[in-house]
Amino acid sequence: MSERRTLFGVELDPLTMDETVRRCLEAVRHSRQLEIGVVNAAKLVNMRRDPRLAAAVAGCDLVVADGQAVVWAARVLRAPLPERVAGIDLFMRLLAEAETAGMSVYFLGAKEEVLEEMLSRVADRFPGLKVAGSRNGYFDDSQQESIAGAIAESGAQMLFLGMTSPKKEIFTAAYGERTGAHVVHGVGGSFDILAGITKRAPEVWQRWGVEWLYRALQEPRRLGRRYVTTNTAFLLMTARELIRLTPSPASANRSN
């Protein structure tokens, strides 16, 4: 097992996509629970402001780099990660693997009409997939326990949460184990993408780490300012950490 990397005080698993998928399938086969946390630049910034979010991510069994900016920062800060493990790509890989292996899944999240459209498209794309159940993501905190119980009763082996942060992380931390699912993966806005409500950035945008800009251009009023603010904060975080890790000339001379 690879030793974890520490980035901004957060421990990340240096895994490739293939290794992450393999760990998930092993968890199902051996009836072990694996809660997956994914972090991008915005979430790392928000974790500094939100102790509940930070604690929820820290409690995950696997934490991988969802954003390309995180991979770049890890390289600069001498805590290298092998590659980006994008939440939506992991989601699609796990659906394909679940269909092949006969593993059952549960979808929790999004608006009802979005969820229904996504389920229809998933059925077309993965006709052999066992869907144990689904529910929209609009519920009060007081309903969390009963929802977790319903997921447990469904017998789902994989649970996918199509909800925003920090709601999905907090649900996972509090009730992930109660759901009985062996793999619990928060996939954020992936339900909207699968339903065709929002478009994913082309691969070249993803490779250059500007997937956030593509999303912001789709929803400038809702996302524009947020992304500019969090990305600026992330750059400053990285710069401060680099300065902290770089020995001053005086200390370097003393060590010689």
Whether residue 147 is contained in a domain is answered as yes
Whether residue 138 is contained in a domain is answered as yes
255 confidence band (pLDDT: 50, 70, 90): low
Could you give the CA distance from residue 239 to residue 194 in angstroms, rounded to a whole number? Answer: 36
253 confidence band (pLDDT: 50, 70, 90): low
Q: 204, 213 in Cβ contact below 8 A?
A: no
CATH code of the domain in which 176 resides:
3.40.50.10700
Whether residue 229 is contained in a domain is answered as no
Whether residue 248 is contained in a domain is answered as no
**Res 248: pLDDT:** 66
> What is the average per-residue pLDDT within 68-75?
95
Could you give the CA distance from residue 221 to residue 114 in angstroms, rounded to a whole number? Answer: 21
Percentage of the chain exceeding pLDDT 70: 96
> What is the average per-residue pLDDT within 146-152?
98
Whether residue 238 is contained in a domain is answered as no
Is it the case that residue 115 has pLDDT exceeding 70?
A: yes
Whether residue 234 is contained in a domain is answered as no
Whether residue 122 is contained in a domain is answered as yes
Domain that holds residue 155: 5-208
Q: Around 170, how many Cα atoms within 13 Å sit in the side-chain half-sphere?
A: 13
**Res 250: pLDDT:** 56
Three-state secondary structure call for residue 105: strand
- pLDDT tens for 17-70 read 999 999 999 999 999 999 999 999 999 999 999 999 999 999 999 999 999 999
Average predicted confidence (pLDDT) for the chain: 92
Q: Of the given ranges (111-120, 153-162, 164-173), which has the lowest mean pLDDT? A: 164-173
**Res 249: pLDDT:** 63
Give the burial class of 251: count Cβ atoms within 10 A of its Cβ; 0-12 exposed, 13-18 middle, 19 or more buried. Answer: exposed
Name every residue whose Cβ is closer than 8 Å to that of residue 64 and which is 6 or more positions away in sequence. Answer: 12, 13, 15, 20, 36, 37, 38, 39, 85, 90
Percentage of the chain exceeding pLDDT 90: 78
Whether residue 101 is contained in a domain is answered as yes
Write a three-state SS string for 174-205: HHCCCCCCCEEEECCCHHHHHCCCCCCCCHHH
Is it the case that residue 252 has pLDDT exceeding 70?
A: no
225 confidence band (pLDDT: 50, 70, 90): confident
Q: 168, 109 in Cβ contact below 8 A?
A: yes
Q: What is the count of structural domains for the chain? A: 1
The pTM of this model reads 0.91
**Res 96: pLDDT:** 98
